[in-house]
Amino acid sequence: MEAYFDNNATTRMDERVLETMLPFFKDVFANPSSMHRKGQEANVHMEKSREKICEILGIEPLELVFTASGTESNNLAIRGAVKAYKKRGNHIITSRIEHPAVLTTIKELEKEGYEVSYIDVDTNGVLDIEQLKKEIRETTILVSIMHANNETGVIQPIAEIGKIVKEKGIVFHVDAVQTVGKLEVKPKEMGVDLLTFSGHKFYGPKGVGALFIKMGTRLTKILTGGHQERKRRPGTHNVPGIVGMAKALELCEMERKEDYKREKELRDYFEEEMLKRVPEIMLNGKEADRLPGTSSVTFKYLEGESILLRLDFKGIAVSSGSACSSDDLKASHVLLAMEIPIEFAHGTIRFSLGKYNTKEEIDYALEVIPPVIEGLRNMSPLWNEFINK
């Protein structure tokens, strides 16, 4: 049996998305910026896709820029905004738990001389709004806070933060890569000026993302080249990707409520059973509002990587900490920000379910995991020390 529980890293593309994309690799392949009929035909389809996405998000077609990824959208939003508002100040506010695409971008800017306030989260992973309020200065030009965290699934009160930031007239960027397609996301109702999302996180293709740029928000472009996307993002459009992302979002929107309910039921069942079957575990962010399919489980006295490898051997795909830190074995900055002791943070596994997961897969995991954990603990000096106490 095989079970893919790594949907926060990427999702399997929906067959219906693939079908929609295929003609755009074959017949309708022309460059949508070309003036001939073939090009204009591609352009019509691309603009229809843009309208479809905008309708779902409640925004205007002029307010959406296509990019090559969530990472690129985050870079464009953050670097583009601080450059455009440079005369007004040099202070940025973000959280300690952002995705590396935001955090490392802001760390770079900090090296270049920008001042940065990193807002804490509580032990459930929810942002300290009072601290955010206190950190706002005359020179604050950008606030960047993620919608849902990729490691824990914990959802931030974006509308509440948006209200505070808006009152001060500061640009508000939200990394919504983990929520678009899963939750209802209406950037304008949440007081958001810039919002990032990415096709491959909601059953669309990889290599295509987008950035909502609210009308009136100034943004300096970060790439130089042609005039595409009204000079905001140069580069030949990824038409199959854009068409596929629009189709994927449309499907998610249609099936969102059922998918949410199914995923949440499976996740809750998984967590309840895990608590019964495996001693000394922690469910991170359990008390907070969370994405329906994400379960961050800390197996005390173990290393996440050894659990991951054992589960992989049994056909179960999971992630330890965040996928992006899996090549350096540092403890997750997200879990540390939640004050999970470093020695426990190392033993954390993220199970992220998606719409293709079944009850059978969960039952298989529930059968496989307890003996794997027991086996590893029997060899763990930390565990034996704990047991002998």
Ligand X SMILES: *Cc1c(COP(=O)(O)O)cnc(C)c1O
User: What is the closest distance, in whole angstroms, from the C-beta atom of residue 100 to ligand X in the complex?
Assistant: 8
Q: Is 101 in the site for ligand X (CB under 6 A)?
A: yes
The region of 67-75, 181-189, 338-346, 380-388 touching ligand X under the rule CB under 6 A is: 67-75
User: CA nearest 334: which of 12, 97, 155, 60?
Assistant: 97
Interface positions, 233-272, toward ligand X (CB under 6 A): none
Please identify, using beta-carbon distances, which residue of 72 and 193 lies nearer to ligand X: 72
Q: Which residues contact 256 (CB under 8 A, 6 or more apart)?
A: 181, 182, 183, 184
Which one of 7, 144, 150, 284 is in contact with ligand X (CB under 6 A)?
150
Contacts of 93 (CB under 8 A, 6+ apart): 116, 117, 119, 132, 135, 136, 140, 142, 143, 144
Task: Determine if 152 is a binding residue for ligand X (CB under 6 A).
Answer: no
For ligand X, the binding residue among 28, 158, 177, 278 (CB under 6 A) is: 177
Sign of the torsion angle spanned by Cα atoms 354, 77, 96, 140:
negative
Per-residue burial over 224-245, b = 16 or more CB atoms within 10 Å of its CB, e = otherwise: eeeebbeebbeeebbbbbbbbb
Rounded Cα gap, residues 130 and 128, in angstroms: 6
Tokens of 57: 């998000």
Q: With respect to ligand X, which residue has the nearer C-beta, 244 or 278? A: 244
Does 70 engage in binding with ligand X (CB under 6 A)? yes
Please give the residues from 199 up to 218 whose contact with ligand X meets the rule CB under 6 A. 201, 209
The span from the CA of 4 to the CA of 11, in Å, is 9
Closest CA to 114 of 132, 145, 137, 98: 137
Alpha helices in the chain (DSSP H): 15-21, 23-26, 37-57, 70-84, 100-111, 129-135, 158-167, 239-277, 304-313, 333-337, 342-345, 359-378, 381-388
Q: Which is nearer to ligand X, 294 or 380 (CB)?
A: 294
Q: Is 296 in the site for ligand X (CB under 6 A)?
A: no
Q: Does 97 bind ligand X (CB under 6 A)?
A: no
Q: Could you say which of 103, 324, 365, 373 is catalytic?
A: 324
For ligand X, the binding residue among 11, 43, 49, 71 (CB under 6 A) is 71
Is residue 175 within the footprint of ligand X (CB under 6 A)? yes
Least separation in angstroms between residue 27's CB and ligand X is: 27
| Backbone angles phi and psi of 326, in degrees to 5 | -70, -15
Residues 310-369 that bind ligand X (CB under 6 A): none
Q: Residues in contact with ligand X, total (CB under 6 A)?
A: 14
For residue 102, the minimal CB distance to ligand X (Å) is: 7
Cα–Cα distance for residue pair 185/182, rounded to 1 Å? 9
> Where does this chain touch ligand X (CB under 6 A) — which range of 119-127, 131-139, 174-182, 286-294?
174-182
Residue nearest to ligand X (CB): 70
Q: Give the alpha-carbon dihedral of 12, 15, 19, 22, to 10 degrees.
A: 30
CB of 146 to ligand X, least distance (A): 6
Active site residue 324: yes
**For residues 178-197, which are near ligand X according to CB under 6 A?**
178
Interface residues with ligand X (CB under 6 A) are 8, 69-71, 99, 101, 146, 150, 175, 177-178, 198, 201, 209
Question: Residues with catalytic annotation?
Answer: 324
